[in-house]
Amino acid sequence: MHRLSNQKVAELLTLMRAAYQCAPAATQRSRYDAFQRAHGRLVRFEAPVGTWIGDLAGFAAGLKLQGRLPPVQPIIVADRFNAQGLEGKISVRVPLATALLYAAQCDAHRFQILE
């Protein structure tokens, strides 16, 4: 698996946001569905635990309710998070479009998307 660069994530976020801009509310869902189909491949989204209970708390609660919140894993040097490494990380396998929704809520050095 390789890590998507911050530039690539920013480009994909721009594409996803463009799917909603200048669209009547009735067509926004169909535009997002089209984006999801085009970018629906499964990826791994990883972030430190502190990010999950802070910036991503709503998403973490949703995963917990679905019984999909995985156990905490150790942070390793290759993760390149802006974190001390004491807290650990949580890694989930989700469609790319979902990972981008998570990424939009985080600082650039507090997550990674692996494909």
The larger pLDDT score, comparing residue 6 to residue 85, is at: 6
Give me the half-sphere count of Cα atoms (radius 13 Å) on the Cβ side of residue 50.
Answer: 11
Give the pLDDT score at 26.
62
**Ordered DSSP codes for 40-106:** --EEEEEEEHHHHHTTTHHHHHHHHHTT--PPPB---GGG--SS-SSS-EEEEEEEHHHHHHHHTTS
pLDDT of 87 higher than 90: no
* pTM over 0.95, yes/no: no
User: Looking at residues 81-92, what average pLDDT do you find?
Assistant: 83
Domain extents in the chain: 6-114
| Residue 110 near residue 80 (C-beta atoms within 8 A) | no
Q: Is the pLDDT of residue 100 over 80?
A: yes
Give just the sign of the alpha carbon dihedral 58, 52, 70, 12. Answer: positive
